[in-house]
Structure 1
Amino acid sequence: MKLNIVPARTGITWVKLGIQTFFKQPLALSGLFFLYMATATLASLIPVVGVVLALAIVPAATLGLMAATLEATKGKFPMPTILVSAFRAGQQRGRAMLILGFLYAAACLLVVSVVPLFFDAPVSRESALSPGMQGTMLVVMAFYLPISILFWHAPALVHWHGVPPVKSLFFSAVVCFRNAGAYAVFGIAWMVVLMVVGVLVTLVAGLLGSPEAAAALIMPVALLMAAMFSTSIYFTFEGSFAASPEDEALPPAGDTP
């Protein structure tokens, strides 16, 4: 495994590849994303441990969606079982993914628990959009950014390259910082895509002359865009590391599937 240093314009390429690949298998890729969201929502409803479980499955689900994208690039229809690819590569890598999941859950819960302590955050529905709450959310997002960087490539490194969980976080952060320009362009390009789609939805709703139509369109379109974004994540990994996942044997030596 070797880190790639890519020019900033590569971020746009990653976005294009994600969109193009999504439209190769739109039903499968959107369906898998919806299945993951439904699973996370149901898990969050479990008393006491629900939120932890919902967060802990994020790395494994991310890997599953990346594996589905890889299948789509080959012209194959990814089946629902691909979402649990992280736990079908042997006991060692399955345990590593579990560790990664609970590290992610702990990091997210730490941020959302600690940051509000430094703000007089309103709790009523009426004050949810107040400057105080918006300030808190901005700080939470700022603290979440390094978590996102640490875990961006970690699931793929654990699964496809057998990297231990803590080392995978380190390598993920290193490649993100080394290719900061490409990742910044990637994020900006997606923001532009989302704004364009938002404008189109607004125009369609305006032509229909119905605010209800706009409201009905927003949620499914948002979910489809999220599914499309998740498809592009695979290409950030493929472009940032020299070795292809196809070149890596999934079960490490001595591991049992």
Structure 2
Amino acid sequence: MERVDEVIEMRSDAAKQRADLLQLMLEAASREHIKDKNDDVDEQYIAKKLTYDEVVANVFLFMVAGYETTSTALAYCTYVLANYPEEQHKLQEEIDEYFSQNENETDPDYDVVNRMPYMDMAIKEVLRMHPIALSPVINRECTQETEVCGIKITKGAIIQPDVYSIHFDQELWGPQDVNGFCPERHLTKRHPLAFTAFGVGPRNCVGMRLALVEIKILLTRLLKQYTIVKTDKLEENLNITELTVITPSEIYIKLEKRQQ
């Protein structure tokens, strides 16, 4: 929290401002005390403003929420790649291709990892097979009575989609077997609500880009030097639990140093 306070103070210098979530919140914030409507009818209050305490709290939550979800997604990535060595080899070839063209580069940056199409498809396919967010996270409230596919939905009803039913729907994700790992399936344009790993609509995951970049950079650095290999214990403790996220108890993999 203290570190967040330091960054906010640093952003008071116009030269150090950046176009990101924190800057947007700071622009919507006020250092003045914000009174509630009912505090004092004679006092004016500031509407639609964040307090600086709220900015700090939101940044803190943004970072905390991003750690477990990202590490869990990476764990699933290692699990899937260990089970599908051919697809892992394709991913390594894409990574090697970049480094062969940029011999002076040592660490991949934001622009680099976003120019790797197979990397993007592979991560999306992992998240299709192993979604992180719990179904209640992407629920919605019906604002007016409506009918969808012959089903009447009353105003105020809470709609809570089953992520697994959507992600493993053969009609939505075919013709390839939905139980198999096939990154190329993401080359086909699907229904906009077929992929709900980060939620959907205007209230989807605000940290989606940050999470994807973190995963891509780590996988790029890891697979450049190592190959992920199955072990006898790979399936031993993959017990899925639903706490703050959908996570496995443990995943056992082996890393082999690459020769080149």
Counting helix residues as a fraction of each chain, which structure ranks higher? 1
**Rg comparison, structure with higher value:** 2
Higher RCO (Cα < 8 Å, 6 or more apart): 1
Select the structure that is richer in strand. 2
TM-score for the superposition, normalised by structure 2 = 0.26
